[in-house]
């Protein structure tokens, strides 16, 4: 971006000009949740002010308009991630999407025409990686516990890199599901998904992609990646909370039984039984987060208008600036890819003898917002010999100046806390 373009983008995000602790805000926590541009807030408000109605139900004109706006948002989001409209299921977020999938898979195993195809049981294996966010780990642990399947994982090395030499040994005829993150929320490393997809599909296993940290930051084409399912959250990509997506290949979604049942997802109901609509409605029981979905449509329109390739390039520069800057500070241990190696626009690090919470507090006093803790990835931190780390994460509106402010803050914190490397 030119400085003028970046200024224009920043002026769309009112939160960025707030003050925190007497300093202008330096927001480096977009990996946790992004700020929202006025265009998104306006789209949600416009819907609530002018069209608010029950979608897919009313015979009246307002309901028809609301339904059209709601379904247009689905089409917009589908195009944004290279999917078909009927392959986009609204959920409340990625966590809900992954749990929905894990429960639908265990429902499938218990009977029905497609039971064999989705069956997960004793002797079967579910493969994850050691760097997963808990949202893409615990639902699979629980599915394994419900069905008697075995959970296995691709380990990481001392630097946090996936040990891909193990893939051939770990993906076997027994593997039914391979659930893997596209971009690590702690390390910023991009997973070579093609390797997972090729090996998983060779043995007939389903691939589930956690796209929470890729959909907001990289141009994503789910059909091209050839994954079977994917999950992401709206709030990390300029939309409000309460909206997320489960993507599934059309024929898989239509063969999979629902998880939640109730209104809006049926064709015929008797006192004894019910028949279900095709996807996506069969997974959307009850009243949906309509205004939030519409806001997500506006969010991806905003991202597309800026250009995902340009956003990714901007953030990669900031990611390198973070990695280089942190590596140059004595006493800092950068996690994940070394400076110069590919990473997205985030970096986590640890400083021996300074607790991440103290560091976070020190930075907060200067108006610098970062994430501290285990970032919902305890096994990853344990493997790296840590209980917590500090993460700075950028987005399209982040600037080199902000990264410089942050790097000075870390340097000063190390002096302040008297840590001698
Ligand atoms: N996976 C990854 C990689 C994430 O970063 C997050 C959010 N921190 C999630 C899953 C869960 O997303 P949500 O909390 O929005 O459901």
CA distance 153 to 112: 30
Secondary structure of residue 163 in the 3-state scheme: coil
Q: Is 376 a catalytic residue?
A: yes
Distance 136 CA to ligand 1 centre (A): 8
Q: What is the pLDDT of residue 12?
A: 98
Confidence check: pLDDT of 114 > 80: no
Q: Could you tell me the pLDDT band of residue 418, with boundaries at 50, 70 and 90?
A: confident
CA 133 / ligand 1 centre spacing (Å): 7
Q: How far is the CA of 147 from the centre of ligand 1 (A)?
A: 25
DSSP state of 226: T
Does residue 95's CB lie within 6 angstroms of at least one atom of ligand 1?
Answer: yes
Predicted local confidence at residue 279, as pLDDT: 96
Distance in angstroms (rounded) separating the CA atoms of residues 61 and 58: 8
pLDDT tens per residue, range 271-300:
999 999 999 999 999 999 999 999 999 999
ipTM for this prediction: 0.99
What's the CA angle centered on 351, arms 346 and 357, to 5 degrees?
80
Q: How far apart are CA 373 and CA 358, in angstroms?
A: 11
93 lines ligand 1 (CB under 6 A): yes
Beta strands in 138-263 (DSSP E): 150-154, 175-181, 206-210, 229-233, 244-248
Residue 175 has pLDDT above 90, yes or no: yes
pLDDT band at 29 (very low <50, low <70, confident <90, very high): very high
99 lines ligand 1 (CB under 6 A): no
- Tell whether the model's pLDDT for residue 356 goes beyond 80: yes
Report the pLDDT value the prediction gives residue 14, as an integer from 0 to 100. Answer: 97
181 lines ligand 1 (CB under 6 A): yes
Is residue 418 exposed (0-12), middle (13-18) or buried (19+ Cβ within 10 Å)?
A: exposed
What count of Cα atoms within 13 Å lies in the side-chain half-sphere of residue 234? Answer: 33
Give bridge partners of residue 177 from the DSSP assignment. 126, 206
Q: Going by CA atoms, what residue is nearest to atom 4 of ligand 1?
A: 212
Average pLDDT over residues 199-228: 98
Which pLDDT band, with edges at 50, 70 and 90, does 108 fall under? Answer: confident
Distances (CA, A) of 250 to 57, 89, 365: 24, 11, 50
Which atom in ligand 1 lies closest to the alpha carbon of residue 241? Answer: 15
* 82 DSSP β-pair partners: none
Q: How far apart, in whole angstroms, are the C-alpha atoms of residue 193 and residue 171?
A: 14
> What tokens appear for 323 in the block?
């990695």
Rounded alpha-carbon distances, angstroms, from residue 228 to 218, 247, 251: 19, 8, 10
Long-range Cβ contact pairs of 79-82 (< 8 A, separation 24 or more)? 80/220, 80/300, 80/303, 80/304, 81/211, 81/215, 81/220, 81/221, 81/222, 81/230, 81/232, 81/245, 81/247, 82/220, 82/221, 82/222, 82/223, 82/224, 82/225
Spell out the residues 6+ positions from residue 251 whose beta carbon is closer than 8 angstroms to its own.
none
Please, are residues 352 and 384 in contact by the beta-carbon 8 Å criterion? no
- The pLDDT of residue 199 is 97
Q: Which atom of ligand 1 is nearest to the CA of 92?
A: 16
Residue to substitute in 129, 135, 187, 379 for testing ligand 1 pocket (most ligand atoms within 8 angstroms of CB): 135
The yes-or-no verdict on residue 398 having pLDDT over 80 is yes
Q: What pTM was computed for the model?
A: 0.97
> Which residue from 33, 136, 233, 289 has its CB within 8 A of the most atoms of ligand 1, so it is best to mutate?
233
Helices then strands, each counted (H, E), the chain: 15, 17
**Cα angle, residue 27 at apex, residues 24 and 30 outer, rounded to 5°:** 165
Indicate if the pLDDT at residue 180 is higher than 70: yes
Instruction: Taking the CA atoms of 122, 123, 125 and 130 in sequence, report the sign of the dihedral they define.
Output: positive
Nearest alpha carbon to residue 156 among 136, 186, 135, 126: 186
- pLDDT computed for residue 57 by the predictor: 77
Q: Active site residue: 134, 376, 400, 411, which one?
A: 376
111 pLDDT above the threshold of 60: no
Q: What angle do CA 376, 352, 23 make, to 5 degrees?
A: 70
Distance 233 CA to ligand 1 centre (A): 7
| Cβ–Cβ under 8 Å, residues 208 and 177 | yes
Q: pLDDT class for 117, splitting at 50, 70, 90?
A: confident
When pLDDT is cut at 50, 70 and 90, the band that residue 420 belongs to is low
Give residue 360's pLDDT band: very low, low, confident or very high (50, 70, 90): very high
Q: What percentage of the chain has pLDDT greater than the value 90?
A: 94
Mean pLDDT of all residues belonging to the chain: 96
pLDDT of residue 58: 75
Q: How far apart are CA 119 and CA 177, in angstroms?
A: 10
How many whole angstroms from 277 Cα to the centroid of ligand 1?
A: 29
């Amino acid at each position: 971006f030119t400085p003028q373009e970046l200024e224009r983008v920043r002026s769309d995000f009112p939160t960025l000009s707030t003050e925190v602790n007497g300093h202008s805000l330096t927001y480096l926590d977009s990996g946790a949740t992004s700020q929202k541009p006025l265009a998104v807030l306006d789209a949600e408000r416009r819907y609530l002010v002018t069209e608010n109605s029950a979608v897919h139900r009313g015979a009246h004109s307002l309901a028809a308009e609301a339904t059209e706006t709601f379904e247009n948002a689905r089409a917009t989001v589908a195009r944004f991630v290279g999917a078909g409209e009927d392959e986009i299921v609204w959920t409340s977020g990625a966590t809900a999407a992954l749990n929905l999938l894990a429960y639908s898979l265990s429902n499938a195993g218990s009977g029905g025409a497609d039971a064999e195809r989705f069956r997960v049981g004793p002797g079967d294996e579910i493969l994850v990686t050691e760097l997963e966010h808990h949202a893409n780990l615990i639902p699979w642990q629980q599915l394994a516990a419900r069905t008697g399947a075995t959970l296995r994982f691709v380990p990481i090395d001392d630097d946090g890199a996936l040990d891909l030499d193990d893939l051939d040994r770990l993906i076997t005829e027994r593997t039914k599901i391979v659930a893997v993150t596209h971009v690590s929320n702690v390390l910023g490393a991009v997973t070579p998904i093609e390797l997972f997809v090729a090996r998983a599909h060779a043995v007939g296993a389903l691939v589930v992609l956690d796209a929470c940290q890729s959909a907001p930051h990289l141009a994503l084409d789910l059909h091209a990646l050839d994954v079977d399912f994917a999950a992401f959250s709206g709030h990390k990509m300029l939309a409000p909370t309460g909206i997320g997506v489960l993507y599934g290949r059309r024929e898989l979604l239509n063969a999979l039984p629902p998880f939640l049942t109730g209104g809006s997802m049926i064709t015929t109901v008797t006192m004894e039984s019910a028949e279900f609509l095709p996807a996506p409605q069969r997974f959307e029981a009850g009243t949906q987060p309509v205004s939030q979905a519409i806001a997500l449509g506006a969010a991806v329109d905003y991202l597309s208008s800026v250009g995902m390739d340009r956003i990714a390039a901007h953030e990669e520069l900031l990611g390198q600036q973070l990695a280089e800057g942190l590596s140059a500070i004595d006493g800092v241990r950068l996690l994940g890819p070394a400076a110069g190696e590919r990473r997205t626009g985030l970096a986590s690090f640890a400083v021996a003898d300074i607790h991440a919470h103290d560091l976070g507090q020190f930075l907060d006093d200067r108006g610098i917002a970062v994430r501290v803790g285990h970032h919902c990835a305890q096994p990853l931190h344990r493997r790296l010999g840590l209980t917590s780390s500090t993460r700075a994460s950028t987005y399209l509106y982040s600037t080199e100046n902000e990264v410089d402010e942050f790097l000075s803050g870390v340097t000063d914190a190390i002096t302040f806390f008297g840590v001698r490397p």
